[in-house]
Amino acid sequence: MARMKFLCDADRCIECNACTTACKNEHNVPWGINRRRLVTIGDGEPGEKSVSIACMHCTDAPCIAVCPVSCIYQTDIGVVLHDKDLCIGCGYCFYACPFGAPQYPQATNFGSRGKMDKCTYCAGGPEANGSEAEYRKYGRNRIAEGKLPLCAEMCSTRALLAGDGEIISQIYRERTLKRGYGSGAWGWATAYYGSERGS
């Protein structure tokens, strides 16, 4: 069974924001909320690096472990999804997540959060695939259409890879071998471990 992963090659990312823009347009994510975002470290300094970050769909995802209403679940291809009808906006997942993936588009007058929103790996949610309800809550379900996440499909330098972990780590291995430097697979040591880590 395929195990879907993201891989951002920090040696290739040029901070063009095509991934974040593609994501927002595809899923109609409002201003101020970013399912995927770019983090630049050492901006304008020698050795500047940019990485594109979204939910990494972790092995043994900490958000699943802490959710008090068990609304977060992992699919058979490793994608971490959640049920917005069950979510109570407690924010535990936000504290647990090592990548800052959970977002809360709505706020109330009393400071409580609305339903959590995060990257779905373009795989929608628990509703029927491709349904209007699914689109409204979670955005497009490209996986059900046999397509990969749009952010990676859109990446101009192929820094961001999405797909079966075995295949994308193989692509990355060949790439680093060929260019002779860099393990810039940002976040893999945190997100995946054990047999799922690959190389």
In terms of CB distance, is 31 or 110 closer to another protein?
31
Of 45 and 76, CB closest to another protein = 45
Q: Which two tokens stand for residue 94?
A: 């936000």
> With binding defined as CB under 8 A, does residue 107 bind another protein?
no
> Counting every residue, how long is the chain?
199
159 to 188, contacts with another protein by CB under 8 A? none
Measured from the CB atom, is 20 or 120 closer to another protein?
20
Min separation Cβ 28 and another protein, Å: 10
- The amino acid sitting at 79 is V
Determine, following the binding rule CB under 8 A, whether residue 47 of this chain makes contact with another protein: no
Residue 14 beta carbon to another protein: minimum distance, rounded to whole angstroms: 6
Measured over the CA atoms of residue 123, residue 129, residue 135 and residue 141, the dihedral's sign is positive
In the range 6-45, which residues lie near another protein by CB under 8 A?
A: 14-18, 20-21, 24-25, 31-32, 43-45
Size of the residue set binding another protein (CB under 8 A): 14
Cα separation, 63 vs 102, whole angstroms: 9
Q: Which is nearer to another protein, 14 or 69 (CB)?
A: 14
Q: List, as own/partner pairs, every contact residues 193-198 make where C-beta atoms lie below 8 angstroms and the sequence separation is at least 24, other chains included.
A: 193/59, 193/60, 194/59, 196/3, 196/59, 196/78, 196/165, 198/165, 198/166, 198/169
**Residue 146 sits in the site that holds another protein (CB under 8 A):** no
Report the 10 Å Cβ neighbour count for 165.
Answer: 23
- Least separation, in Å, of the C-beta of 43 and another protein? 7
Q: Where are the beta strands (DSSP E) in the chain?
A: 4-8, 37-41, 49-53, 72-74, 80-82, 160-164
153 binds another protein (CB under 8 A): no
- Residue for token digits 């689109």? 135
**What does the binding site for another protein look like in residue numbers (CB under 8 A)?**
14-18, 20-21, 24-25, 31-32, 43-45
